Amino acid sequence: MIKKIGIVGAGQMGNGIAHVCALSGYDVVLVDVKKEALEKALQTIEKNMGRQVARGTIKDEDKSAAQKRIQTSADIKSFADCDLVIECATENEQVKREILKSICPILKPEAIVATNTSSISITRLAAATDRPAKFVGMHFMNPVPVMELVELIRGLATDEPTYTAVRELAIKLGKRTASAEDFPAFIVNRILLPMINEAIYVLYEGVGNVESIDTAMKLGANHPMGPLELADFIGLDTCLAVMQVLYDGLADSKYRPCPLLVKYVEAGWLGRKAKRGFYDYSKEKPVPTR
């Protein structure tokens, strides 16, 4: 039975997962290597839950009870009494493997470990743990409090009780699930990221500017956000990492990351979280940077 949930990485996704878990009555411990990330996560949760109160979707007392359930910590030892830990750190296989190796000796033997990776092989990450049967992919969508889907991915060794436990948890969090096989980027990002990468090629080749590309896809394909706006929202480092996993994992040149995407990441223009990407977010209204 899952009662206490640990989350590694308090970035965009970690704070959203903490938010929905705490609102559904789970105790949460959020860990990050950066103290600022933990502080920012609590501020974001405060702001987003406040918005839900204002909209009338939750009561003020639900908000304060949920916030009391969230504990932050810089020390992975805080995971010792967790029933589930969701790894939610930067999309980098080496970083994730090191986190998994370091947390396993601290966890209860029966604890489940999940990863929120957007693209990396669940089977390979499972091999970095001491419990491949209790390891599973639990891919939440951004922003977590709003998006309904959780994509669930079994690794080669994932056992049925583990899969069932995380599926039941997702449903208790008010989400719906879709099952994907363990292939690079699973379903959502296998389809979404090549589209975003193509939009960046369209910009790179001068077929359209940022505004015309996003307007074209919003009005012409009925997408709620343009692909470049969406890339900024996801984080350009994450977009590049997913394209690299697709390119390496499927060995097909159609997945080659656009050089312009590489350049933006090298410049540290990572999108909304860095206040600059395909748009500049320093003013009230985002302004295209090209």
What the block records as the tokens of 157 is 């060794």
3-class SS letters over 59-79: CHHHHHHHHHHEEEECCHHHH
**Piece of 103-111, 133-141, 203-211, 278-286 that binds ligand NAD (CB under 6 A):** 133-141
Taking the complex as a whole, the smallest distance from the CB of residue 149 to ligand NAD amounts, in Å, to 10
What the block records as the tokens of 169 is 């948890």
Nearer to ligand NAD, 67 or 142 (CB): 142
Taking the complex as a whole, the smallest distance from the CB of residue 159 to ligand NAD amounts, in Å, to 23
Set 118, 119, 121, 197: catalytic member: 118
Nearer to ligand NAD, 89 or 122 (CB): 89
Q: Is 89 in the site for ligand NAD (CB under 6 A)?
A: yes
Nearer to ligand NAD, 132 or 235 (CB): 235
Taking the complex as a whole, the smallest distance from the CB of residue 263 to ligand NAD amounts, in Å, to 19
Q: Is 118 in the site for ligand NAD (CB under 6 A)?
A: yes
48 is catalytic: no
39 is catalytic: no
Expressed in angstroms, the distance from the first to the final Cα of the chain is 51
Set 116, 151, 197, 229: catalytic member: 151
What the block records as the tokens of 69 is 């359930």
Among 6, 11, 155, 227, binds ligand NAD (CB under 6 A): 11
Report how far residue 255's alpha carbon sits from residue 248's, in angstroms, rounded to the nearest whole number. 9
Q: Which letter does DSSP use for residue 164 in this model? A: H
Q: Is 151 in the site for ligand NAD (CB under 6 A)?
A: no
CB-side neighbour CA atoms (13 Å) of 203? 29
Centre a 10 Å sphere on the Cβ of residue 282 and count the other Cβ atoms it contains: 9
Taking the complex as a whole, the smallest distance from the CB of residue 1 to ligand NAD amounts, in Å, to 26
Taking the complex as a whole, the smallest distance from the CB of residue 28 to ligand NAD amounts, in Å, to 15
Q: Check if the beta carbon of residue 270 is closer than 8 Å to that of residue 277.
A: yes
Among 19, 154, 273, 276, binds ligand NAD (CB under 6 A): 273
Total residues belonging to the chain: 290
Q: Is 142 in the site for ligand NAD (CB under 6 A)?
A: yes
User: 243-246 — which CB contacts under 8 Å span 24+ positions?
Assistant: 243/193, 243/194, 243/197, 245/119, 245/120, 245/184, 245/185, 246/119, 246/184, 246/185, 246/190, 246/193, 246/194
Nearest CA-CA partner of 81 in 28, 134, 136, 146:
28
118 is catalytic: yes
Q: Is 33 in the site for ligand NAD (CB under 6 A)?
A: yes
Q: Check if the beta carbon of residue 144 is closer than 8 Å to that of residue 17.
A: yes
179 is catalytic: no
Residue nearest to ligand NAD as judged by C-beta position? 11
Q: Is 4 in the site for ligand NAD (CB under 6 A)?
A: no
- The secondary structure element, H or E, covering residue 7 is strand 4-8
Taking the complex as a whole, the smallest distance from the CB of residue 217 to ligand NAD amounts, in Å, to 18
Q: Is 177 in the site for ligand NAD (CB under 6 A)?
A: no
Set 15, 116, 121, 189: catalytic member: 189
- Catalytic annotation, residues: 118, 139, 151, 189
Judged by the rule CB under 6 A, the positions of this chain that interact with ligand NAD are 8-14, 31-34, 37, 88-91, 95, 99, 116-118, 139-142, 234-235, 238, 273
